[in-house]
Homo-oligomer: A and B are copies of this chain.
Amino acid sequence: MATPAPAKVIKDAAKDVAQDVTPDIVDAQVILTPLLDALDIVGVAVFALSGALIAAKERQTFVTLAFFALLTGVGGGSVRDLLIGAPVFWMTDPWVAAACLLVALAVWFTPTRWWDGKLLDYADGVGLTAYAVLGSAKALSYGIPPVPAMVMGVVTGTVGGIIRDVIAGRPSILMRPELYVTAAALSASLCVIGSVLEGPRLLVWTGAALAGLALRGAAIHYNLSLPPYHERRAATDAEAQQPD
């Protein structure tokens, strides 16, 4: 018969309650899961490492190292999942939180210089741009419109680090002119544009991640930064305020 199976009707009705957000959950699971699960845990671990290292450099206790590893590792993805209405990813996965605690243990028992340096910066760049793509793609798969989906990519990549800096009382990555948030924004934008234009998924994702990573890599290598507000713009304003 043409009648849909009752279970499906019921599930669809239940989904409708979520008001306009039509979480394309099954599709997202089938496609995202096998491809991105490994990447996901690597991203969490890299961010957790950066959180634990900051706590270690401030001579904190193991408990603080573990807390920083966790909130830096899962912070961005948690905020994304809450905003798009998805179950928070590390609540249903028994390994993510454990991975963060293992990273904290590894940092605790080793000198920080083992981990630090340019290599960590590049690894962080990989996590940042991969997460920007993953975050945008997940938001789109939950029916979020393009502009907020792009923002979700940036949020996924950067909010963990922002929370880490705020709690540690450090100047936030958000306030530095480095091309950091910008690299995430580039990857997220390309991912959304490519998806809206229905480009081949693997190509769009890989291209978007590599473009952001290239920008971030160039920024690390050549110390590139964005111009601040006053230099290029509003010269009149700056002059007018000189007497102050």
Bound: A114/B83 CA distance, A:
34
Number of copies: 3
Using Cβ atoms and an 8 Å threshold, which residues of chain B touch A20? 87, 92
Number of interface residues of A (CB under 8 A): 84
Shortest distance between the CB of A79 and any CB in chain B (Å): 9
Known A-B contacts A10-B14, A61-B177, A229-B61; the reply to A91 vs B96 at CB < 8 A is no
Bound: A181/B71 CA distance, A:
14
Shortest distance between the CB of A185 and any CB in chain B (Å): 6
- Minimal Cβ-Cβ distance residue in B for A181: B63
Contact present for A234 and B111 (CB under 8 Å): yes
| A7 close to B (CB within 8 Å) | yes
Contact present for A147 and B101 (CB under 8 Å): yes
| A64 close to B (CB within 8 Å) | yes
Using Cβ atoms and an 8 Å threshold, which residues of chain B touch A64? 174-175, 181
| A62 close to B (CB within 8 Å) | yes
| A168 close to B (CB within 8 Å) | yes
Name the residue in A68, A91, A95 with the highest tally of chain B Cβ atoms < 10 Å from its Cβ: A91
- Minimal Cβ-Cβ distance residue in B for A239: B111
Shortest distance between the CB of A53 and any CB in chain B (Å): 10
Contact present for A13 and B11 (CB under 8 Å): yes
Bound: A64/B72 CA distance, A:
20
A40-87 CB contacts (< 8 Å) to partner B? 55-56, 58-65, 67-68, 70, 78, 82-85, 87
Write the A82-112 contact mask toward B (1 if CB under 8 angstroms, else 0): 1111011011111111100100000011111
Known A-B contacts A20-B92, A166-B166; the reply to A59 vs B229 at CB < 8 A is yes
Could you list 7 A-B pairs, sorted by A, with CB under 8 Å? Answer: A21-B87, A63-B185, A84-B91, A85-B91, A92-B145, A112-B234, A167-B174
